[in-house]
Amino acid sequence: MSGFLNSTIARKFAMALSGLFLVIFLAQHFFINITSVFSAETFNEFSHFMGTNGFVQYVAQPILIFGVVFHFVMGFVLEIKNRNARKISYARYNGSANSSWMSRNMIYSGGFILIFLVIHFIDFWVPEINIKFIEGDMSGLDAAGNYRYYDHVVHSFEPIWRTVLYIVGFVFLALHLIHGFQSSFQSMGFNNKYSKALKGFTTAYAIIIPLGFIFIALYHHLN
């Protein structure tokens, strides 16, 4: 397997697969989050289920974390090889004449998303894991005996700096997905008469989902 992953094509295939997996996860994350706009109760129930369900915590979550780590480690490995492939750079390089900014800067959009993810984990994931799995309190209740999840979200988006940081994170996510989502199909060998329609769908997805996340962040900030 490690020998197989030495080849450029296999690496790109693995990059595409892990990316697609993360794209699907993103949709699931979005649909749970959006409930927070409509009903605090539904959001609390979903959150509690996700935080306490054995399958989610012990199977899905490790796979997800592996997917994220694999995607960015491989991203850096590929980037290093790419940089090595041209030792002396051009005095003049007109990249915008033949390719999109998004496609040429995946490492930067990806790098920013990684920083954002670390902050996001510290904001939401670490406190929950701490209460549930370190302190051992699986109830999901605050001192007053109510579910704490919704309040935690609302509270988190009170400061403007975090709201802005999340918005910037989602903008980079959109830029990353506009190229990455459709590109993953090409890496897996899918390029035919349906590709144009697929590109329309992936581009719409890459814009609408991050916009939705931005809406949620702003909604809680403004309320």
Partner 1 sequence: MNLTLKIWRQSDAGKKGRIVDYKIDDVSPDMSFLDMLDMLNEQLNNKGEEPVAFDHDCREGICGSCSLQINGEPHGPDRMITTCQLHMRTFKDGDTIYIEPFRAKAFPVIKDLIVDRSSFDRIQHAGGFISVNTSGNTIDANAIPVNKHDADKAFDAATCIGCGACVAACKNASAMLFVSAKVSQFALLPQGKIEATDRVLNMVRQMDEEGFGNCSNTGACEIECPKGISLENIARMNREYMSASLKG
Task: Name the minimum Å distance from CB 149 to partner 1.
Answer: 39
From CA 56, how far away is CA 49, in angstroms rounded?
A: 9
| Torsion on CA atoms 166, 175, 47, 57, rounded to nearest 10 | -120
**Who's near 215: CB < 8 A, 6+ residues apart?**
37
Check binding of 31 to partner 1 (CB under 8 A).
no
3-state DSSP assignment of residue 147: strand
Binds partner 1 by CB under 8 A, chosen from 38, 55, 58, 90:
90
Residues 64-83 within binding reach of partner 1 (CB under 8 A) = 78, 81-82
How many residues sit close enough to partner 1 to count as binding (CB under 8 A)? 40
In 3D, which of 144, 114, 128, 125 has the Cα closest to residue 22? 114
Contact call for residue 13 and partner 1 (CB under 8 A): yes
- Draw the binding track, 96-135, toward partner 1 (x: CB under 8 A; -: no contact): -xxxx--xx-x-----------------------------
86 binds partner 1 (CB under 8 A): yes
Helix, strand, coil percent content, the chain, rounded in steps of 5: 80, 0, 20
Interface with partner 1, residue 179, by CB under 8 A: yes
The only residue of 2, 38, 54, 88 in contact with partner 1, by rule CB under 8 A: 88
For residues 163 and 119, the answer to whether their CB atoms sit within 8 Å is no
**Positions that interact with partner 1 (CB under 8 A):** 4, 6-13, 78, 81-82, 84-95, 97-100, 103-104, 106, 179, 183, 186-192
